[in-house]
């Protein structure tokens, strides 16, 4: 049986700053271990990018020290979106890229995630190799072989030009008034320039990072400020990115949220129209049933992967397909880039608007969302929900009540200490009642029953 990962989760290593493993000591050794694995044989370089959290400076220095001790050269990108690091890793022909970010989490969290030389997430076996190195004593290479660090000054400009190229030379955004919310995160100096240089009238919010305000009442997980700004300014639409820029949600001119499922449908429909999409669209277990039905109405298959972009990517690569994503707005356009990219996915929607001459709310009208309720129940340790009979019996009862027109999903989060409970069906009142009923039962079961840890 394959060894379980100790530190790596579904999206790198993440946690609260100062609490193991998110400490300077660990991150320095992680840099050393990663350097030993990713740059075997010595030489080469590894890129480091970060979001705008205050702890990013500390962990950047720790990674730099560890990589140097392993004999690896470092290129420092400064604050850059996660997908920008993936792109630049490829264009610099680097051994790997490292991102210091906790994505949509608050400032007191942070994390480390890696990209391979081809700009994709590391395979499980490589993460296991890094963890194996972490168990060895740190040994610094001979002084003449220590890695050197340099700052890449033109990194933002390189990535801005890449983003603009993803919608082709014949498309511009002239005449569109767009509100862009950068969540005080890594896209604050990138996204406004992309949309402005393509001709849009750009109104910015969430572009004043101070190290502590990343994702604070802004961004893809908190669209209320964007909705208000769109309505207040009479904008055509709004775009909200998360702290590290790998996801986006949108707001139409009425102030209604357009989530990742609807964004994926809009992109799929536009590509079907110009015959550039075949095969299947990949969602997750959390994707709305309305998306599944709408995609099939386009004549395409719809496949569900486990939650997490690495599993979407695996299914896309196995099937030879190009479009997948999550309800959260994490969309992968594999024909354009190698990871989820909020700016790129928003640009595909804007291109669809421009080419069709239709507003955002009209483009999403081909998909009717089923009412869906998601409730998070906090847990204090990992638990195998499948081994708690009372919970499984309750799930079966809810599924029976919903019949063929609904779904239930319970799963522990890969990034937060919660169990996610999702109920979906045709009747909103029924869905809400059943979700709350199930959440209450799960909460009771987890407090009254001795936790059964995951294997």
The CATH class that applies to domain 372-448 reads alpha beta
- The per-residue DSSP string of 72-127 comes to -EEEEEEE--HHHHHHHHHHTT-SEEEEE--TTS-TTEEEEEEE-TTSSBPPHHHH
Which helix (H) or strand (E) segment holds residue 49: the answer is strand 45-50
CA distance 150 to 254: 47
- Distance, CA of 267 to chain centre: 18
- Distance, CA of 439 to chain centre: 26
- The per-residue DSSP string of 197-246 comes to HTT-EEEEES----SS-TTSS-STT-THHHHHHHHHHT-SEEEEE-TTSS
| Secondary-structure breakdown of the chain: helix, strand, coil percentages, each rounded to the nearest 5 | 40, 20, 40
Catalytic residue among 55, 101, 103, 287: 103
pLDDT tens digit at each of 455 positions of the chain:
356 789 998 889 999 999 999 999 999 999 999 999 998 866 789 999 999 999 999 999 999 999 999 999 999 999 999 999 999 999 999 999 999 999 999 999 999 999 999 999 998 999 999 999 999 999 999 999 999 999 999 999 999 999 999 998 889 999 999 999 999 999 999 999 999 999 999 999 999 999 999 999 999 999 999 999 999 999 999 999 999 999 999 999 999 999 999 999 999 999 999 999 988 999 999 899 999 999 999 999 999 999 888 899 999 999 999 999 999 999 999 999 999 999 999 999 999 999 999 999 999 999 999 999 999 998 877 777 777 888 888 899 999 999 878 889 988 876 678 889 999 998 999 999 999 999 998 888 877 655 444 44
Phi/psi region, residue 412 (left: phi>0; alpha: psi -120 to 50; beta: rest), is beta
Strand partners, 202: 178
Phi/psi region, residue 110 (left: phi>0; alpha: psi -120 to 50; beta: rest), is beta
Domain 13-153 has CATH 3.40.50.300: no
CA distance 301 to 291: 11
Answer yes or no: are the C-beta atoms of 118 and 90 closer than 8 Å: yes
Q: Which of 261, 330, 320 is nearest to 295 (CA)?
A: 261
Q: Which of 11, 35, 296 is nearest to 148 (CA)?
A: 35
Q: What is the pTM of this model?
A: 0.90
Q: Which CATH architecture has domain 158-366?
A: 3-Layer(aba) Sandwich (3.40)
- Distant-in-sequence, close-in-space partners of 138: CB < 8 Å, separation ≥ 6: 29, 32, 66, 69
For residue 116 the two structure tokens come to 């391979």
Q: Is 103 a catalytic residue?
A: yes
Domain boundaries along the sequence of the chain: 13-153, 158-366, 372-448
Q: Which of 84, 153, 150, 131 is nearest to 343 (CA)?
A: 84
For residue 46 the two structure tokens come to 């590894």
Same topology, domains 158-366 and 372-448? Answer is no
Give the chain's length.
Answer: 455
Q: Residue 258: is it exposed, middle or buried by C-beta count within 10 angstroms (0-12/13-18/19+)?
A: buried
- The per-residue DSSP string of 349-382 comes to HHHHHHHHT--HHHHGGG--PPPEEEEEEE-SS-
CA distance 55 to 108: 8
Which helix (H) or strand (E) segment holds residue 363: the answer is helix 360-363
CA distance 450 to 455: 15
CA distance 175 to 177: 7
Give the 3-state secondary structure of residue 411.
Answer: strand
Q: Which of 391, 389, 371, 393 is nearest to 379 (CA)?
A: 391
Give the 3-state secondary structure of residue 176.
Answer: coil
């Amino acid at each position: 049986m394959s060894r379980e990962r100790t530190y790596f989760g579904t999206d790198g290593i993440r946690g609260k700053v100062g609490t193991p493993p998110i400490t300077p000591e660990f991150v320095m050794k992680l840099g050393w271990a990663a350097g030993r694995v990713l740059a075997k044989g010595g030489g080469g370089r590894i890129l480091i990018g970060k979001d705008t959290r205050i702890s990013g400076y500390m962990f950047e220095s720790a990674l730099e020290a560890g990589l140097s001790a392993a004999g690896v050269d470092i290129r420092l990108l400064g604050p850059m979106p996660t997908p920008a690091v993936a792109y630049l890793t490829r264009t610099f022909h680097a051994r790997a890229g490292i991102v210091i970010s906790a994505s949509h989490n608050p400032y007191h969290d942070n994390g480390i995630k890696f990209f391979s030389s081809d700009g994709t997430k590391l395979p499980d076996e490589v993460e296991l190799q890094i963890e194996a190195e972490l168990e060895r004593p740190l040994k610094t290479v001979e002084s003449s072989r220590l890695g050197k660090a340099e700052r890449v000054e033109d990194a933002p400009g390189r990535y801005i030009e890449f983003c603009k190229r993803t919608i082709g030379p014949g498309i511009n955004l002239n005449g569109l008034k767009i509100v862009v919310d950068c969540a005080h995160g890594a896209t604050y100096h990138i996204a406004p320039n992309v949309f402005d240089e393509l001709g849009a009238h750009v109104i910015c919010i969430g572009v004043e990072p101070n190290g502590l305000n990343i994702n604070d009442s802004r961004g893809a997980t908190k669209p209320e400020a964007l909705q208000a700004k769109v309505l207040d300014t009479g904008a055509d639409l709004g775009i909200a990115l998360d702290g590290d820029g790998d996801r986006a949600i949108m707001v139409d001119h009425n102030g209604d949220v357009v989530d990742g499922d609807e964004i994926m449908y809009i992109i799929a429909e536009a590509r079907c129209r110009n015959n550039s999409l075949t095969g299947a669209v990949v969602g997750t277990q959390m994707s709305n049933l309305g998306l599944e039905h709408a995609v099939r109405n386009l004549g395409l298959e719809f496949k569900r992967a486990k939650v997490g972009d690495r599993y979407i990517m695996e299914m896309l690569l196995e099937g030879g397909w190009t479009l997948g994503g999550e309800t959260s707005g994490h969309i992968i356009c594999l024909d354009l880039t190698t990871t989820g990219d909020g700016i790129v996915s928003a640009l595909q929607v804007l291109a669809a608007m421009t080419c069709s001459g239709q507003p955002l709310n009209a483009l999403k009208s081909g998909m009717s969302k089923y009412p869906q309720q998601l409730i998070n129940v906090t847990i204090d340790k990992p638990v195998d929900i499948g081994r708690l009979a009372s919970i499984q019996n309750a799930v079966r009862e809810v599924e029976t009540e919903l019949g063929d027109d609904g779904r239930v999903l319970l799963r522990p989060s890969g990034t937060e200490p919660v169990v996610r409970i999702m109920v979906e069906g045709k009747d909103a009142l029924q869905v809400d009642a059943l979700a709350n009923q199930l959440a209450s039962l799960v909460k009771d079961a987890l407090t009254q029953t001795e936790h059964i840890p995951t294997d």
